[in-house]
Structure 1
Amino acid sequence: MITERPDPPRQGDERETLRVYLDFHRATLAMKCADLSTEDLRRQSSPPSTLSLLGLVRHMAEVERTWFRRVINAEDIPLVWSDSFDFQAAYDASDCTREEAFAAWENEIEHSRRIELAAESLEVTGYQPRWGEHVSLRMIMLHLIHEYARHNGHADFLREAIDGVTGA
């Protein structure tokens, strides 16, 4: 994963702005994980919580898969880390390697990008069964920006606790 963050446009159109901000936040999570071993990435924030940087990467793979592939593309596929649709399962990265988690996350990001680029407009909708309604691609992109931003805040604290690295 490229960890250089894109510079969001100051006067881009809505779709370009959403796309670049989403990539900005994806890159931020990758930067928070850069140069860390699997063991470092598995380090839990506050046991018994299973929250870790590797768990965040796994969770975001689930988020990407759910919103773009399952909702917008209507693919009937399971979650990456849980056969029972337990989103919390992704946080437990105790038996996962850096390579496995990042391969899954990067794969889901590539699917997400392909689906977004193929969509005719931000008005395209998909059915979100948990909410019982259709949602637009616009809402999904905003939701993912929010989801990444929130978890990148967690990633800041997790990374600082591992090796003192802050910023970015």
Structure 2
Amino acid sequence: MPSDQVHPVDRVRPPESAGERETLTGMLDYLRDSVVNKVAGLTSAQAFANAVPASALTPAGLVKHLTGVERFWFAIDFAGQDIDWPWTDDNPHGNFTLTDSDTLPALVAAYQAECARSRSITAAASSLDDVAVGDGMTFNLRYALTHLIEETSRHLGHLDLLRESTDGSTGE
């Protein structure tokens, strides 16, 4: 596979009989790796194409959006870090918009780095009951993990459809 493409990663199935924290973080990590694998092997043209004409969604745009979601929920809202906001003023909760300088490998690398930051924040929390410290936030870590499982799963469904429409690839 050319170096300008994304390579698949090994996924570890989440534990089926573990504590709540291990189950939630294991499931989210499995889904995060699934996002990477779903776009692995796509050409730039495929990653940036609107494969389903009625929709503006692209595989690359979904990866960029999920990067913003990770940053927003864990680093900014939960941990209260003073870092760049992932959304623009004209699209305050989207970030599906791609720029001419975006590449799929760079978007995936940014996603993986943001997931690593989220993992670190999650691991540093003493309990799933820890409450977010971001300005005006009242949710706990359990809620953030559950929300990210839902959001990542929903967008994996979109990626499934986009990938199948693009090159016929199906599967996990």
**Is TM more than 0.5 here?**
yes
Q: Which residue of 2 aligns with 1:76?
A: 82
Could you list the per-position Cα deviations for residues 127-153 of structure 1 after superposition, in whole angstroms to 9, with x for gaps in the alignment?
Answer: 566xx5400000000000000110000
Is 1:40–2:33 an aligned residue pair? no
Q: 1:79–1:158: structure 2 CA closer, same or farther, 3 Å change rule?
A: same
TM-score (norm 2): 0.87
1:46 deviates by: 3.6
Q: 1:109–1:167: structure 2 CA closer, same or farther, 3 Å change rule?
A: same
Instruction: Read off the aligned partner of 1:143 and give its amino acid letter.
Output: H
Could you list the per-position Cα deviations for residues 1-46 of structure 1 after superposition, in whole angstroms to 9, with x for gaps in the alignment?
Answer: 7622211112110000001000111111111101112221111144
Q: 1:149–1:49: structure 2 CA closer, same or farther, 3 Å change rule?
A: same
Q: Which has the higher helix share?
A: 1
Structure 1 unaligned blocks of 5 or more = none
Cα pair 1:42 1:94 within 8 Å, conserved: no
Distance 1:76 1:47 in 2: 38
Q: 1:59–1:144: structure 2 CA closer, same or farther, 3 Å change rule?
A: same
Q: 1:94–1:160: structure 2 CA closer, same or farther, 3 Å change rule?
A: farther
1:74 deviates by: 0.4
What percentage of aligned pairs have identical amino acids?
A: 37
Q: Which residue of 2 aligns with 1:91?
A: 96
Q: 1:149–1:73: structure 2 CA closer, same or farther, 3 Å change rule?
A: same
Could you list the per-position Cα deviations for residues 102-125 of structure 1 after superposition, in whole angstroms to 9, with x for gaps in the alignment?
Answer: 122111111101100110010111
Q: Which has the higher strand share?
A: 1
- Is the partner of 2:127 in helix, strand or coil? coil
Cα pair 2:132 2:139 within 8 Å, conserved: yes
1:78 deviates by: 2.6
- Is the partner of 2:138 in helix, strand or coil? strand
1:62 deviates by: 0.4
Distance 1:43 1:68 in 2: 30
Distance 1:76 1:49 in 2: 34
Distance 2:98 2:73 in 1: 22
Q: 1:84–1:78: structure 2 CA closer, same or farther, 3 Å change rule?
A: farther
Instruction: Read off the aligned partner of 1:37 and give its amino acid letter.
Output: T
Aligned-pair RMSD on alpha carbons? 2.0
TM-score (norm 1): 0.89
Cα pair 2:13 2:30 within 8 Å, conserved: yes
Is 1:4–2:10 an aligned residue pair? yes
Distance 1:79 1:161 in 2: 32
- Is the partner of 2:11 in helix, strand or coil? coil
Cα pair 1:5 1:24 within 8 Å, conserved: yes
Distance 1:125 1:47 in 2: 42
Structure 2 unaligned blocks of 5 or more = 1-6
